[in-house]
Amino acid sequence: MGPDKLEELLAATVQTAKSDKLLTEKHVERVNVDMTVQEKAIAFPTDARLYHKVRRAFVRLARKSNINLRQNYERVGRKVFLKQGRYASAGQHKRARKETKKLKTMLGCVIRDIQRKCSDPERRLATVLKIANDIFNQKRNDTNKVYSVHAPEVECIAKGKVHRKYEFGCKVAMVSSSRDNWILAIDAVHGNPFDGHTLKDSLKQVKQITGWQPLHAYCDRGYRGAAREITETEVHISGKKKKNMKASLWKWYARRSAIEPIFGHLKSDNRLERNPLQGKDGDRINAILSGCGFNLRKLLRTFFLPFFRWMFCRNFDHSGALIGLNMGETNFEMLSAHAF
């Protein structure tokens, strides 16, 4: 289907909320905008692991292409890789660097052997050859480095988190309504852009999905300077002092932080935390489907809430005493807790 078709599914959840008058134009007047990181399903990219994995991928493709390698280093490479991990874990970094250098030498031998014996490689082999050359030649402080063999589009993103200094994946831009927290737009963005440069596209996606233009957008300080490019929407950056504004305006500034628990629910309940889908389209598909799942949960709660209220009124009197139940007591307590 592709990410563009799945964006219509997100629009369908919004249209359902509009048809039931759960989402009105007044909800879209004020929106919250923020970005998070969607991590890819890859292992932590150490140099030793990258050298080992790309060499193994080369050996498998060479066998499929009937290329007889002079030496494939399968047994030796595995032993060296295990030794490198043990030395690094024990804090013996000089020995670990020595084993990493051996792995890099093995990779270089396999690359040169395949280049000699296959001057015109097939499509898949040519792709892995390019990735292997990039991994073999990249240095510590290079830009646009390769962090995964099967997902070369992965980027290293530092958001300043104390518990997680670097995250490997892509950024996700999201827009939610300040009232009732409906997800109005969500998409994955590659290239590790400045947050403010994505604001225009995010507001454009809101208008495309809902049909309404947001009048006020509340953002964090990562969007400073973005207001210069936006004319139809007034951009408010958090961080202003409370004493310098009216209480009615301060309420919406404080409401901006409501987007943070939405990211938490998307990651814990809707699979945004770790993306197993392939390629850049897979990143967009996973982000959009996470937004669809969040909106569908809100719709289901709204549809079943009258039933839970009816069951509560039927089985409890005004003082809260239990009258009688037609279902299990434990199940009903669980349902009433979710409903209220």
- Which residue segments constitute the domains of the chain, with CATH numbers given? 2-42+156-297 (3.30.420), 47-149 (no CATH), 305-339 (no CATH)
Question: Alpha helix (H) ranges present in the chain?
Answer: 2-19, 25-29, 47-64, 74-89, 93-117, 123-137, 199-210, 247-255, 259-269, 279-315, 329-339
C-alpha–C-alpha distance, residues 216 and 29, integer Å: 6
Q: What number of other Cβ atoms are within 10 A of residue 82's Cβ?
A: 12
**pLDDT, tens digit (0-9, with 9 covering 90-100), for 142-177:** 988 999 999 999 999 998 888 889 999 999 999 999
pLDDT confidence of residue 340: 44
DSSP designation for 161: -
Whether pLDDT at 322 is above 80: no
Classify the C-alpha dihedral 324-327-329-333 as positive or negative: negative
pLDDT at residue 335 greater than cutoff 50: no
Can you give the pLDDT at residue 338? 46
Per residue in 49-107, pLDDT (tens digit) is 999 999 999 999 999 989 999 999 999 999 999 999 999 999 999 999 999 999 999 99
pLDDT at residue 136, as a whole number: 96
- pLDDT at position 315 is 65
Integer Cα distance of 25 and 27 in angstroms: 5
CA distance 43 to 40: 9
pLDDT in tens, 120-150: 888 889 999 999 999 999 998 898 899 999 9
Q: Confirm if 317 and 324 have CB atoms less than 8 A apart.
A: no
> To 5 degrees, how large is the angle CA 60–CA 66–CA 72?
45
Strands 274-275 and 183-189: unpaired
Spatial CA neighbour of 323 closest among 314, 331, 335: 314
CA 87 to the chain's CA centroid: 33
Strands (E), 141-195: 155-157, 167-177, 183-189
What pLDDT, in 10s, does the model give residues 15-61? 999 999 999 999 999 999 999 999 999 999 999 999 999 999 999 99
Task: Tell me the average pLDDT across 186-198.
Answer: 94
pLDDT, position 316:
60
**From CA 48, how far away is CA 56, in angstroms rounded?**
12
Please check the confidence at residue 339 and state whether its pLDDT lies above 50.
no
β-sheet bridge partners, residue 217: 31, 235
Among the listed residues 1, 2, 66, 17, the one whose alpha carbon sits nearest the alpha carbon of residue 183: 17
Rg of the chain over Cα atoms, rounded to whole angstroms, equals: 26
